[in-house]
Amino acid sequence: MSVDKPIIVTVDDDPGVSRAVARDLRRRYGQQYRIVRAEEALQGIDALREMRLRGDDVAAILADYRMPQLNGVQFLEQAMDLYPFARRVLLTAYADTDAAIQAINVVDLDHYLLKPWDPPEEKFYPVMDGQLDAWQRADRVEQAELRVVGDRWSAPSYQVRDFLARNHVPYRWMLAEDPEAAQLITAAGGPEVCRLPLVVTAGGDALQAPTQSTLATAVGLSTTPATDFYDLIVIGGGPAGLGAAVYGASEGLNTVLVEAHASGGQAGQSSRIENYLGFPDGVSGQQLADRARRQALKFGAELLTARKVTALEPHGQARVVSFKEGEQIAAHAVILATGVSYRRLDAPGLDDFVGRGVYYGAALTEAPSCQDSEVYIVGAANSAGQAAVYLSGFASTVHVLVRGDGLEKSMSAYLIEQIAEKPNIRVHYRSQVTGAEGDGHLERLRVEEDGKEYLADAQWLFVFIGAEPYTSWLDETVERDGKGFVLTGPDLVVGGRRPKQWPLRREPYFLETNVPGVFAAGDVRSDSIKRVASAVGEGAMAVALVHRYLEKQ
């Protein structure tokens, strides 16, 4: 690594503006940083590549939005690959504010500045001071590459890749027949012995067909609780759980969030959420989940991944949570935010191809593999619509199979409009999958449309039908409705009845279950509004009710 001063790079195709930006930067930061300017986008990319080869450290990159070769957003996208830790600032005129807002989501933009900014002491330097301070404080150690070797149509290989992707762990995927993959398999004992998928860590450890828990530990995810007693245990890492963790930790509660798979839940698999407040150009579920996860960690919440909860029991004033491995933790209060999962499609042959052409949910890791293929989607709600729009950017044709006569009752209007504008999306009404065929992976689907059945060549089926709550582990402890959703507050006292085993004189709080101190938030709750914003709001509300509960103890 070079011992030279870190670099601030500025790119603007207007020579006068370029010199003025560099002048302002040198005046304030010239003692601590080297200022490098470029007047063409491609020249700037070449300069960054040379810096990378020399081992120079780049602290910030400022790019003008209106440039002829690459606009500022496209430039910053390419710059991210070379310097992922550099702070990214877009320089824009007032008329391009919408583009700057879009860039916040596309390249995770750190800030945008309106030109001109005279005087810089008021409008430029305070922003740059904050960005450079954030760069100095950030952990900029790059992780070595994680490699995953497996078979193309292997369900366990898909599960490993999906787990890593949803937990934001970068990896390189290799098919077993690739030369480099063959070398890794040989080093692990040879094809006769080595069990796939094979995961080779940055340190060279080879994990053969690892469990999620083993994989989580190997890539540095937290799986072991720091203590055995907390103020608040949040079960489930979807929007409701993450919202509860952020508000619980930020308000001083010793909080732990337990997630069986990956933060984000079902919403974390959404390719783009466009009706969430504060993101006018949309945000991917992964981006939203990652930001919420980092926010929870910033406030001191503890996040446990790949830990499956199997029981919840009240012991006096404590609420005890048991894990699959037999370990237990306890807390004063618990928030259930386990969300829902997509129901299985009941058609002959489908279960044989789960993870091998049939996927429940968006399965975004598979999207690039759908290039120029025909893709089938079953579902009529927003999640199906989001997936159709996203996959249309890869597939030759996206077929959306809908049982009803239209989408208006179940899908947001903005998604219906987007689907109508995509020439390679075809919506089939009064349609359903009646069977699946293939040799080792999905190859054909039987589809019934308007009462007529036909056989369609298909290697990709994504299913988004209904929702099933993950609550069977609660047994008789927590009351649920006939579909398994958790009953809370007013739903527990319908007709003046008392909740089962309710020991207190007061009635349950709005999100409280029949067990005092145990609350439910988000999609797992009976009659909840199935939207990301409402789930986050319920997570925050549940924490407020936890405080009220603790004050009364």
**184 and 283 together in one domain:** no
pLDDT of 528 > 80? The answer is yes
DSSP states along 445-467: EEEEETTEEEEEE-SEEEE----
Average pLDDT, the chain: 90
pLDDT digits 0-9 by tens, 13-57: 888 889 999 999 999 999 999 999 998 988 899 889 888 877 789
Indicate the pairing of strand 229-235 with strand 328-336. parallel
Query: Are 333 and 474 in a shared domain?
Result: yes
Q: Between 266 and 2, whose confidence is greater?
A: 266
Position 97 in a domain: yes
Number of Cβ within 10 Å of residue 21's Cβ equals 25
pTM score of the predicted model: 0.75
How far is Cα 234 from Cα 309, in angstroms, rounded to an integer? Answer: 11
Between residues 102 and 505, which one has the greater pLDDT? 505
Residues 440 and 517 grouped into a single domain: no
Bond from prior residue into 116 cis (ω within 30 degrees of 0): yes
Q: What is the pLDDT of residues 122-146, one digit of tens each?
A: 889 999 999 999 898 876 665 557 9
- Residues 201, 235 within the same domain: no
Q: Are residues 181 and 250 in the same domain?
A: no
Please report which helix (H) or strand (E) contains residue 432, including its range.
strand 431-437
Are 322 and 300 members of one domain?
Answer: yes
CATH classification of the domain holding 233 = 3.50.50.60
pLDDT the model gives residue 320: 97
* pLDDT over 90, % of the chain: 64
- Among residues 463, 488, 506, the one where a domain terminates is 463
Domain count, the chain: 4
- At 2 the pLDDT is 42
In a domain, 142, yes or no: no
**Which phi and psi angles does 404 have, rounded to 5°?**
-90, -165
Measure the CA–CA gap between 516 and 507, rounded to whole angstroms: 10
223 within a domain of the structure (yes/no): no
Q: Could you give the C-alpha distances from 11 to 20, 75, 100, 110, in angstroms and in order?
A: 12, 9, 16, 16
Q: Are residues 492 and 527 in the same domain?
A: yes
Domain boundary pick from 195, 218, 241: 218
> Given this model, what pLDDT does residue 304 score?
96
Same-domain pairing of 61 and 152: no
Pick the closest to residue 78 from 102, 105, 106 (CA basis): 106
Distance separating alpha carbons of residues 54 and 35, to the nearest angstrom: 16
Q: Is residue 533 part of a domain?
A: yes
pLDDT value at residue 301? 97
Residue 212 lies in a domain: yes
Q: How far is CA 226 from CA 166, 301, 314, in A?
A: 23, 11, 21
Q: Is 430 inside any structural domain?
A: yes
CA–CA–CA angle 302, 267, 467 (5° rounding): 110
Q: Which amino acid is at 317?
A: Q
In CATH, what number is assigned to the domain containing residue 173?
Answer: 3.40.30.10
CA-nearest of 56, 59, 51 to 32 is 59
Helical (H) or strand (E) element with 314? strand 309-315
List, for residues 157-216, the tens digit of each pLDDT value. 999 998 988 887 888 899 999 999 999 999 999 999 999 999 999 888 999 999 999 999
- Residue 247 structure tokens: 């508000």
Beta strand pairing call for 147-150 and 111-114 = unpaired
pLDDT in tens, 216-244: 999 989 999 999 999 999 999 999 999 99
Mean pLDDT for the stretch of residues 316-343: 94
Q: How many other CB atoms are there within 10 angstroms of residue 249's CB atom?
A: 25
The answer to whether the CB of 270 falls within 8 A of the CB of 285 is yes
Q: How confident is the model at residue 518 (pLDDT cuts 50, 70, 90)?
A: very high
Domain boundary among 91, 108, 137: 137
Residue 231: closest CA among 252, 246, 247: 252
Residue 319 domain-assigned?
yes
Q: Would you say residue 457 lies in a domain?
A: yes
3-state secondary structure of 95: helix
pLDDT at 1: 40
Average pLDDT rounded to a whole number, residues 381-409: 93
Q: Which CATH number fits the domain that encloses residue 89? A: 3.40.50.2300
Residues 446 and 364 in one domain: yes
**Contact predicate 480/526, CB 8 Å:** yes
What pLDDT shows up at residue 352? Answer: 94
∠ Cα 370 163 301 (to 5°) = 135
Q: Are 433 and 310 in contact (CB under 8 A)?
A: no
Answer yes or no: is pLDDT of 271 > 90. no
DSSP state of 1: -
DSSP state of 9: E
Nearest Cα neighbor of 219 from 240, 197, 202, 237 is: 202
Q: Answer yes or no: is pLDDT of 307 > 50.
A: yes
The parent domain of residue 379 ranges over 350-463
Does the pLDDT at position 270 exceed 90?
Answer: no
Q: Tell me: do 387 and 290 sit in the same domain.
A: no
Alpha helix ranges (H) inside 36-146: 41-54, 72-82, 97-106, 120-123, 125-137
Give the per-residue pLDDT at 142. Answer: 57
- Do 192 and 127 lie in a common domain? no
pLDDT reported for residue 429: 97
Specify whether 495 is located in the same domain as 417. no
Q: Which residues of 195-218 are buried (b: 16+ CB within 10 A; e: fewer)?
A: ebbbbbbeeeebbebbebbebbbb
Q: Helix crossing, 15-29 with 125-137: angle to 10°? A: 60
Around 231, how many Cα atoms within 13 Å sit in the side-chain half-sphere?
21
Give the mean pLDDT of 441-448. 96
pLDDT tens readout for residues 349-392: 999 999 999 999 877 778 888 988 999 999 999 999 999 998 99
Percent of all residues in the chain with a pLDDT value above 70, rounded to a whole number: 96
- State the burial class of residue 321 (Cβ atoms within 10 Å of its Cβ: 0-12, 13-18, 19+): buried
Rounded CA-CA distance 404/381 in Å is 12
Higher pLDDT, 101 or 245: 245
Burial class of residue 62, CB neighbours in 10 A (0-12, 13-18, 19+): buried
